[in-house]
């Protein structure tokens, strides 16, 4: 019997029992209206030690959905605006992001924004509830603070300056002020600090929060502090967004590999894009294969398959390799360390995983600017399809002083050898981040993106 059949049979049984009860109740029918619905829980139901676990799991589930839980996610959105992927779709909402022509009215992207904001808001609400019951272990609250910090990281890296942090208590909406990019990352650092304190000796939570703190500090240009924050994180450490046949498919598999996908891998996009796919079989960090698939738009032929993630593989949220890259980037701030940076990048290649062939000594850049380019290429390859690339591009402009058009895809749209025609014509636009959705105009304090990258 199918699941639907079973559900219907059970439903009919419940209906029959209800009718029998109605007959037995006679004149006492009003008692039938006094029903307890156990699937609907109030805030006070969670304000106990037993209520802590569903709150914690709920925060993680919301984060996973926002991060890479579907065909549209933080990873696809940021990869589409950067140089990791492009859209093989027919919907303007995705095409305009790839074209760097972001606008407030974009239904495809507003759903991603909503998911990230819901993660942030739910984590904040959960922490408020748990502060009353203070359940043990405290590391569980530390983990929620860490996920709160990561949701703030996503808002700071993915969307233009001016994101407001509003809140609700079930009755009243408290509208938040638009925040600068710096203010968002400063909030994230504070929440990661709290997570680290609450983590205590629970190293899995502490390392997770330390990597998040380091990531926020990089965006703030505090490189030595970022390196110090992650100094004790083992290279083997990893935090994942879980996927399984009982929950959701891996978002990258759904978006790039499964049938006529709405996204495709990019390589050499818009003059400045890194040539990720020139590395077939030569760089194990960029795992891909050729295919004969077409995209959601039939104009896109021979969609390349990413092989980093299978259908139910877990997505990579943070790992020890990212921590090592933070330490190397702190060295990069002094041109006198260029040789040490080159050697450290080769040491990371040798230790992996995956193990990557070393760069020959003669390939070391002759200038410090060239070393910065090499470092960010290495970082892009190590963190490919993990939602870091757009944030790194913004840092190159904001912190390293690079001109926007020397960092982002620019010039004529598309990659002609990848398709027969280009679905959207012209040249790349000026956007450096995704626009905050129009729905935020309901907030009387919000009037659009603030200036800055």
- Rounded to an integer, the average pLDDT of 77-100 is 95
Q: Output 16 or 154, whichever has higher pLDDT.
A: 154
Q: What does the pLDDT read at residue 247?
A: 83
Instruction: Band the pLDDT of 161: cuts 50, 70, 90.
Output: very high
Residue 144 placed within a domain: yes
Q: Across residues 217-230, what is the average pLDDT?
A: 98
**Percent of the chain whose predicted confidence (pLDDT) is above 70:** 87
- Residue 316 β-bridge partners: 240
pLDDT at 383: 98
* pLDDT value, residue 11: 32
Dihedral angle, C-alpha 234, 236, 242, 246, nearest 10 °: -140
- Residue 359, domain member (yes or no): no
The CA-based angle 259-260-261, given to 5 degrees, is 95
435-450: average pLDDT: 97
Place of tokens 């891998």: 265
CA 163 to chain centre: 16
Query: Residue 194 has which token pair?
Result: 């709290």
pLDDT band at 43 (very low <50, low <70, confident <90, very high): low
Domain enclosing residue 178, as ranges: 41-247+429-453
Pick from 404, 350, 339: nearest CA to 374: 339
Give how many domains the chain has, as a whole number: 1
Q: What is the pLDDT of residue 170?
A: 72
Quickly list H helices, 311-367: 320-332, 338-351
pLDDT exceeds 50 at position 263: yes
Per-residue model confidence (pLDDT) at position 413? 86
Q: Which residues of 166-205 are buried (b: 16+ CB within 10 A; e: fewer)?
A: beeeeeeeeeeebbebeebbbbbbebbbbbbebbeebeeb
Q: Is residue 401 over pLDDT 50?
A: yes
Cα distance between residue 198 and residue 240, in whole Å: 21
CATH of the domain at 242: 1.25.40.390
pLDDT band at residue 52 using 50, 70 and 90 as cut-offs = confident
- Rounded Cα gap, residues 150 and 317, in angstroms: 9
Q: Among 92-96, 128-132, 234-238, 338-342, which is the least confidently predicted range?
A: 128-132
> What pLDDT score was predicted for residue 17?
28
* φ/ψ of residue 28, rounded to 5: -95, 40
More reliable by pLDDT, 272 or 135: 272
DSSP assignment of 259-290 equals: SS-SEEE-SSTTTTS--GGGGTTT-TTS-EE-
pTM of the predicted protein model: 0.89
Residue 201 counted as domain residue: yes
Structural domain includes residue 440: yes
340 occurs within a structural domain: no
Contact call for residues 245 and 351 (beta carbons, < 8 A): no
pLDDT reading at 21 higher than 90: no
Q: Which residue has tokens 């012209």? A: 426
Go through 290-319 and write b for each residue having 16 or more CB atoms within 10 A of its CB, e for each that does not.
Answer: eeebbbbbebbeebbbbebbeeebbbbbbb
Look at 424 and 312; give whichever has higher pLDDT: 312
Q: Would you state the torsion angle of the CA atoms of residues 153, 158, 162, 167, taken in this order, to the nearest 10 degrees?
A: -60
Q: What pLDDT, on a 0 to 100 scale, did the predictor assign at position 245? A: 85
The answer on pLDDT for 323 being more than 60 is: yes
Which pLDDT score is estimated for 295?
Answer: 92
Task: Give the chain's count of helices (H) and strands (E).
Answer: 15, 10
Cβ count near 229 (within 10 Å): 27
**151 pLDDT exceeds 70?**
yes
Asked, for residue 364, whether it belongs to a domain, the answer is: no
User: Which pLDDT does position 25 carry in this prediction?
Assistant: 41
**What SS3 state is found at 37?**
coil
How many residues are listed for the chain in this entry?
453
| Contact criterion met (CB below 8 Å) for 65 and 115 | yes
Res. 44 pLDDT band, cuts 50 70 90 = low
How far is Cα 289 from Cα 308, in angstroms, rounded to an integer? 10
110 pLDDT above the threshold of 60: yes
Q: Nearest to residue 441, comparing CAs of 181, 148, 103, 180? A: 103
Dihedral of CA atoms 32, 36, 42, 45 in degrees, nearest 10, equals: 150
87: enclosing H helix or E strand: strand 85-87
pLDDT at 414: 64
Domain assignment present for residue 206? The answer is yes
Q: How many CB atoms lie within 10 A of CB 284?
A: 16
H or E element that contains 300 = none
**Mean pLDDT, range 445-451, rounded to an integer:** 96
Examine residue 216 and state whether it is found in any structural domain, yes or no. yes
Cα 427 to Cα 349: distance, rounded to the nearest angstrom:
37
């Amino acid at each position: 019997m199918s699941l639907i059949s079973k559900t219907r049979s059970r439903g009919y049984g419940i209906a029959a029992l209800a009718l029998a009860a109605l007959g037995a109740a006679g004149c006492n029918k009003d008692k039938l209206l006094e029903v307890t619905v156990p699937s609907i829980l109030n805030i006070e139901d969670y304000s106990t030690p037993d209520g802590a676990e569903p709150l914690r799991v709920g925060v993680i589930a919301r984060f996973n959905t926002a991060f890479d839980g579907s065909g549209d996610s933080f990873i696809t959105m940021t990869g589409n605006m950067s140089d990791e992927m492009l859209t093989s779709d027919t919907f303007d909402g995705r095409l305009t992001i790839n074209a760097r022509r972001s606008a407030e009215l974009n239904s495809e992207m507003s759903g991603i924004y909503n998911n990230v904001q819901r993660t942030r808001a739910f984590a904040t609400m959960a922490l408020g509830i748990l502060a009353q019951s203070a359940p043990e272990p405290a590391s569980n609250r530390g983990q929620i603070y860490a996920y709160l910090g990561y949701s703030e990281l996503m808002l700071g890296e993915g969307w233009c300056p001016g994101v407001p942090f509003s809140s609700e208590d079930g009755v009243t909406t408290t509208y938040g002020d638009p925040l600068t990019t710096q203010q968002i990352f400063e909030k994230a650092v504070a929440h990661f600090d709290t997570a680290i304190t609450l983590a205590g000796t629970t190293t899995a939570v502490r390392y997770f929060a330390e990597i998040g703190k380091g990531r926020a500090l990089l965006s703030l240009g505090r490189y030595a502090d970022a390196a110090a924050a992650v100094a004790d994180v083992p290279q083997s450490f990893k935090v994942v967004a879980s996927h399984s046949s009982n929950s959701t498919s891996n978002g990258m598999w759904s978006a790039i590999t499964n049938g006529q996908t709405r996204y495709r891998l990019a390589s050499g996009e818009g003059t400045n894009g890194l040539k990720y796919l020139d590395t077939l079989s030569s760089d194990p960090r960029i795992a891909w294969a050729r295919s004969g698939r077409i995209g959601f738009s039939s104009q896109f032929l021979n969609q390349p398959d990413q092989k980093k993630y299978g259908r139910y593989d877990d997505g990579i949220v943070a790992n020890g390799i990212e921590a090592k890259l933070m330490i190397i980037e702190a060295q990069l701030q002094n041109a006198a360390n260029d040789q040490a940076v080159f050697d450290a990048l080769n040491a990371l290649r040798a230790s992996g995983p995956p193990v990557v062939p070393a760069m020959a000594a003669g390939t070391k850049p002759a200038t410090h600017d060239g070393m910065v380019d090499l470092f960010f290429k290495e970082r892009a390859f190590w963190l490919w399809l993990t939602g870091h690339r757009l944030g790194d591009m913004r840092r190159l402009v904001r912190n390293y002083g690079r001109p926007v058009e020397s960092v982002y895809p620019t010039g004529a749209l598309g990659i002609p050898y990848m398709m027969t025609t280009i679905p959207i014509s012209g040249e790349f636009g000026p956007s450096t981040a995704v626009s905050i959705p129009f729905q935020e105009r309901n907030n009387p304090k919000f009037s659009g993106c603030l200036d800055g990258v």
